[in-house]
Each structure stands twice: as C-alpha cells, then as structure tokens.
Structure 1
Amino acid sequence: MRSFPFVTVDVFTDRRFGGNPLAVFPDARGLSDGEMQALAAEFNLSETTFVLPPEDPANTARVRIFNRTAEMPFAGHPNVGTGFVLAGRAAGGLLRFEQIAGLVEVRIAPDGQGATISAPQALKVGATLPAALAAACAGIGAEEILTERHPPTLASDGGNHRLMVEVTPAGLAAAAPDLAAFRRAVAEHPAALGGMLSLYLYRREGDGLRARMFAPLSGTPEDPATGSAATPLAGFLLHLSGGQEAALDIVQGVEMGRPSLLRTTARRDPEGIRATVGGGCVPVLRGEALL
C-alpha cells in the first residue's frame, strides 16, 4: 500500500471554517492522472492540488489542479493555498508554479499567513449573453439583473471563463442555481460556452463588492471564494472604467456561512490588463491517503 501525505487549508480567510477549503498533496510523485482525479472526487472540495517537480528547474513546482470532475488549467484559491503550504520553498518570498494556463507567480505575505497570486494571462473579454439566461440560471427575476454598466459578459485570464453578472442586492441574496437552466444555457450557446458555465454574480457594497459563484455543471453548486473569477472581474471592471489601475476587495461566501475576503488588483500593461488576487490562509487538517 502506498501513502501520500496531504494537508487542508481554508483560503481567503483568517479563521478556520471560513473561506474556501483546499486539499494539497505536497508530493504527488507516483500518483496517476486517474488517482489524482479520484482523490479530488473523494475529498469533494471545489479543488484539490497535486505538487510535482517542475519541468523547468528555474521554477518552484508543477502544480496540477483538479475539481470534482476534471483537471483545471488555472484556479485562484488552489494557488493561494498551495503557495501558503509551500512557503518554505519560496526564494525571496516568491514561488513560481507551472500550470496548463501558464506560469503562476505566488508571493507569500510578509507575515506568512497568506499569499497573493498573479493570473497567468491577460484579461480576455468574451461574448455577451442574454440577461434572461443569467436570471434563469440564478433562479431570480430578470429585473434583478443590472445591465446599465454591461450585459452579462464572459471573461477569463487563464482559467475557465466566467459569466460576469451585476445584480441588485435583493437578487444576490435570493439567488440559487437552477441546474436545468444551466443545462439549457450550454445547449443553446455551444460556441460561447463550450459545454460549461460558471455564473459569477456581484453587487456594489461601499468601496468594494459582494459576490457569489455558481458552477453546478462541474459539481460546485456554490463556491465560497473564487479567485479565478475575482481576477477577471477586477480586470473587466478596469476595462470598463478606462482607468490604468485599481484595487478592489470582494466579499464572498457569506450566504454559505463561509465568509471570504479576496483582495484584488488590476493594471494595464503592454500585454493587456493583468490582475492579482490574495488573501489569508489557515491550516486545518493533516493526514495521508492510502492507495
């Protein structure tokens, strides 16, 4: 029997049982692709990460990210949490993770209690979709979708595209994913959605935002903290504003009883709009998987 140690951490929080839980296998050598996927399904978290030696020795590690059903090219809280777990490997506070979407740089917080990551790609703004579709998927009335600033719009910066939807406070509070509506949406818009849909709802709250994310087609009815949605949203809002740079705090997970704080930045550079997201991490469990 083979043994593979793991740890779990709560990400984008300063307290246990807040934020988004993550399982990390700090040494995944010897695990097959199928075993990684099976372990991610067994943990039943939004993502699990598996750390392998880098292909380029100039980098820290190759990090593979699996959700309950598939491998992901990039994700936010898995990189923040894995960076926190591997902080002892940081050179000058910096880690470099090889991933399908590209190289992810992770900076460890000065107090060691969290990390900030840079999205591996510049912002990509995709298709717009009908407000009625977004409302149906969120289980709310079309009047709760705000379109003065933008219609529901797909955006990404290395991860899966997210449908960015501004909603009213009442709409955010009442939202609940409608699985049948999600299935209809991907069937009716195959070119734009490619068979998958992640719905990222947000509303203004003071100088920051409140958000919720639904991705039931990938096994996550609701996610308490979604870094790979926060970064394209920060970039998309900068794109709309015409500004050069911005910093924005996003609160997520409140409705799930797992409040999370995601601190984002976005800036324009020669490659386009680039974004970061960071937050705190708290260790929770240690154990081993027996295979």
Structure 2
Amino acid sequence: MTVPESDSAQIEVVRVFTDAAGRFGSPLGIVRHSAVANIDHQALAARVGQALTAVVYDPADGRVAMRIYTPAVELPFAGRPSIGAAWWLNEQLSPVKVIDVAAGPVEVALTDGLTWARARATWSPPFEFHQFEDAALIATLDSADFPGGQHYCWAWTDELRGAVRARMFAPGIGIPEDEATGAAAIALTALLTRGLHITQGQGSQIFTEWDSDGWARIGGRVVADHPIVI
C-alpha cells in the first residue's frame, strides 16, 4: 500500500522551452523513482503543483523509463518531460538516447544548445485547435474563456518561415494554462505537416520538424530552476 505524501522527497525543477536568454519556459518537476517508490505518484504530482511532474527510473544501457503526471492525471506522453528529463540526465552525467514512456520509446538528443525528442504525433492527447487570423488577439485570451477540455490557440506570424504565436488552455487535465506545451506543438505540426517555430505564452520558444511517416521532432532549450522539497 502506498502513501500519498512525503516530507523528504526533493523535486528538481527545470524550465523547458526557454528563449535564447534562458527566460520563460514551462517548469517541470523531476524526481527519481527510487526517492518516491512507496509514494502515490499522482498525489505527489498534485502536491508538487507543477503542470507536469516526471518520475524518472534508473538509466541503463542508454535508455530510461519515465512516468508523467499532471496534477490530475497520468499522461502516456508529453514533450516537455521528454526534453527536460533528457537534458537533466545529461547534466547528471547519465545521458540517454531513449526514454521509454507509456506511449512508446522516445529518441532524444542534445545538439547545438537544443534538446530534441522524436515521437509519434498520435501520442499527443486530443486538442481542439483555434486558428486566429490576427496574432495580436492571442495575447487577449483569458483562461476563463476555456472552462473545460484542451485548447490550442494559434496564429501565423510568418507563414512562409513557419513562425507561430500560440497559447494553450487545458483545464480538462488540471492545467488552466500552460506556458509552453510540447505535445500540442507536435499535434499542430502534424496538422500542418511542416516544421514550426512556435512562440507560446509569454515568450517560450518551441521548435518542431515533421517526418512524413507520422513522426515529429520537437526541440527546445532547458535551464535549471530551484529544487523544492515536499
């Protein structure tokens, strides 16, 4: 029987999809499975309070297992934990090439200051997409406008270059608004069948590439934030 809380687990926090100066990005809580093996992970994620918390197992032979939680539900895949955990493990001198999540194996790599993850577009949860003709309207949206479901609001800022302005609201999975959302970026990439440079939230940067066989790559910058102990 597991217990819902811990008074000694340290949660490492990183910010994923920052801009080139290390600003913005969405926080990700990361905790080693060995530190919370006897703890209810879903209750832990709710107590941590981040939009996403990743429970990372011990790496072996260049790959690692990971489970992903919002404050309300477990997810089979998400882009931010895949990128954030790959970067964090590399910083811990335990680099991996594959992260095994419930949806399947995610190939990861660090290249030229970006961390990349390759995943199937069908692994992304369902989003309702709202395209705006005027990108300036994206900034005027309010989370109260989206009381349920999962919504990705976007507009071209330079269609020729694949530049997009976006925001994401997902109260259906316990996230009123997410500053930067990897899975939604992958889903939009699949919808448009092209690589994108997405500016989401206050200024987070997400890069994507599309493969015609249904796979997409998503990349971003990661920085360490302050750890928390609960």
Q: TM-score, normalised by structure 1?
A: 0.68
The answer as to 2:94 corresponding to 1:89 is: yes
Contact 1:75–1:228 (Cα < 8 Å) also in 2: yes
Matches of 1:103 and 1:117, distance apart in 2:
10
Q: Which residue of 2 aligns with 1:108?
A: 110
Q: Structure 2 counterpart of 1:253, which letter?
A: G
SS in 2 for 1:236: helix
Q: Which residue of 2 aligns with 1:204?
A: 156
SS in 1 for 2:87: helix
Aligned residue among 79, 85, 109 for 2:82: 79
Deviations 1:208-247 (A, max 9, x none): 0001100012221111100000011111101xxxxxxx42
SS in 2 for 1:86: helix
Superposition deviation, residue 43 in structure 1:
2.0
Contact 1:4–1:28 (Cα < 8 Å) also in 2: no
When Rg is computed on C-alpha atoms for both structures, the one with the higher figure is 1
The answer as to 2:56 corresponding to 1:51 is: yes
Aligned residue among 194, 197, 201 for 1:249: 197
Contact 1:40–1:67 (Cα < 8 Å) also in 2: yes
Q: Structure 1 counterpart of 2:71, which letter?
A: R
Aligned CA distance change for structure 1 residues 40 and 3 (closer, same or farther; 3 Å): same
Superposition deviation, residue 159 in structure 1:
2.7
Gaps of 5+ in 1: 124-156, 183-196, 239-245
The answer as to 2:140 corresponding to 1:174 is: yes
Aligned CA distance change for structure 1 residues 36 and 202 (closer, same or farther; 3 Å): same
Q: TM-score, normalised by structure 2?
A: 0.85
Larger helix percent: 1
Contact 1:60–1:89 (Cα < 8 Å) also in 2: no
Contact 2:146–2:169 (Cα < 8 Å) also in 1: no
Deviations 1:182-204 (A, max 9, x none): 3xxxxxxxxxxxxxx21011100
Deviations 1:62-82 (A, max 9, x none): 111110111110011111111
Aligned CA distance change for structure 1 residues 247 and 39 (closer, same or farther; 3 Å): same
Gaps of 5+ in 2: 1-5
Q: Which residue of 1 aligns with 2:3?
A: none
The answer as to 2:126 corresponding to 1:165 is: no
Q: Which residue of 2 aligns with 1:217?
A: 172
SS in 1 for 2:33: coil
CA RMSD of aligned residues (A): 2.3
Aligned CA distance change for structure 1 residues 75 and 33 (closer, same or farther; 3 Å): farther
Q: Structure 2 counterpart of 1:81, which letter?
A: G
Q: Which residues of 2 match residues 122-133 of structure 1 at below 5 A?
A: 123=121
Superposition deviation, residue 171 in structure 1:
3.8
Matches of 2:182 and 2:75, distance apart in 1:
13
SS in 2 for 1:116: strand
Matches of 1:174 and 1:180, distance apart in 2:
13
SS in 1 for 2:185: helix
SS in 1 for 2:189: helix
Q: Structure 1 counterpart of 2:17, which letter?
A: F
Matches of 2:171 and 2:154, distance apart in 1:
18
Q: Which residue of 2 aligns with 1:280?
A: 221
SS in 2 for 1:89: coil
Deviations 1:142-188 (A, max 9, x none): xxxxxxxxxxxxxxx21311122211325423322347753xxxxxx
Aligned CA distance change for structure 1 residues 211 and 276 (closer, same or farther; 3 Å): same
